[in-house]
Amino acid sequence: MRARDSDPVGTSDLVDAAADVLARLRERRPRVHCITNTVAQTYTANLLLAAGAIPSMTIAADEVAAFVSSADALLVNVGTLDDSRRAAIGLAIDAAADNGLPWVLDPVFVDRSPDRAGFAQALLAMRPTVVRLNPAEFSALAGGPPEPAAIDRFASGLHAVVALSGETDQVSDGARHAAIANGHRWMTRITAMGCAGAALVAACLAVEDDPWRATIAAHLVLGVAAERAAVVSSGPGSLATSILDALFDLDRKDLHERARVS
């Protein structure tokens, strides 16, 4: 964390905030509606359930607004972006706006499809609370490499929190910038890990008003769970399973012992 704002934040404070967020997830069990790609749906649902949240996933035009309206946060992932998903995304974002719900945009693979990149640009204009993306996706949308200052500018321009995934995750709201060095290298070999992480950000937004702290909390909780899980895993297959166990069981002490946020 680079202290560039007038209200500097201690890293221990951020870890405590993450533990508080996790406690509230388990107590309040927020509903998170996820419009996400078909590859990621099952793991995303299991990750949310392990953390305490309650997932729903429909993209049917007749019912998506009802689901979002009775939810506490929304995830919009643009993977496997067929016409039904495009239509559902519009309806879902409208319902989120009508109900004042926070929402997360995950512009997955926009670097592979110009059409998808154009669609994601239009979604950025609809004021997501958080945008979560990897370096290739950042470059496709922000027009340059993900240097810390560029991330801050991108966040400022969007009036959103930007979470850039990588060996070290970076979370910026334009004024505040944190770096989180938790996680495990096998996570990149598990499909939907990033997508499920973005859903966890949405869950945290449902129980924490400061979206920057909520986003950091999600990254710390998942990263520390992955490190605990790696101890009992033999590769990416068992890690995917063990992360769910670790997340279900994580406590404040784990977070303080392992969190690497700066």
Of positions 76, 240, 259, 261, contacts a copy of itself by CB under 8 A? 240
Q: Residue 70: which H helix or E strand, with range? A: none
Residues in contact with 169: Cβ distance below 8 Å, sequence separation at least 6, in sequence order: 163, 179, 180, 181, 182, 183, 219, 223
Helix axes 236-249, 211-231, angle to 10 degrees: 120
Of positions 10, 27, 61, 136, contacts a copy of itself by CB under 8 A? 61
43 binds a copy of itself (CB under 8 A): yes
67 binds a copy of itself (CB under 8 A): yes
Q: Residues 178 to 217: which contact a copy of itself by CB under 8 A?
A: 186, 188-192
Taking alpha carbons only, the member of 80, 72, 23 closest to residue 52 is 23
Of positions 1, 50, 92, 164, contacts a copy of itself by CB under 8 A? 50
Residue 14 to residues 86, 111, 146, 159, 189: CA-CA distances in angstroms? 36, 32, 23, 21, 28
114 binds a copy of itself (CB under 8 A): yes
Q: Residues 73 to 102: which contact a copy of itself by CB under 8 A?
A: 79-85
Q: Report residue 143 as tokens.
A: 């027009």
Pick the stretch among 8-16, 113-121, 129-137, 201-209 that binds a copy of itself (CB under 8 A).
113-121
Q: Report residue 16 as tokens.
A: 């405590």
Where does the chain have alpha helices with state H?
11-28, 41-51, 64-69, 83-98, 114-124, 135-142, 148-158, 193-205, 211-231, 236-249, 252-258
57 binds a copy of itself (CB under 8 A): yes
Of positions 237, 251, 257, 262, contacts a copy of itself by CB under 8 A? 237
Q: Which is nearer to a copy of itself, 49 or 97 (CB)?
A: 49
Contact pattern for a copy of itself over residues 132 through 161, marking x by CB under 8 A: ------------------------------
49 binds a copy of itself (CB under 8 A): yes
In angstroms, the CA 102 to CA 212 distance is 12
Q: Which residues bind a copy of itself (CB under 8 A)?
A: 37-43, 45-46, 49-50, 55-63, 66-67, 70, 79-85, 109, 112-116, 186, 188-192, 232-238, 240-246, 248-249
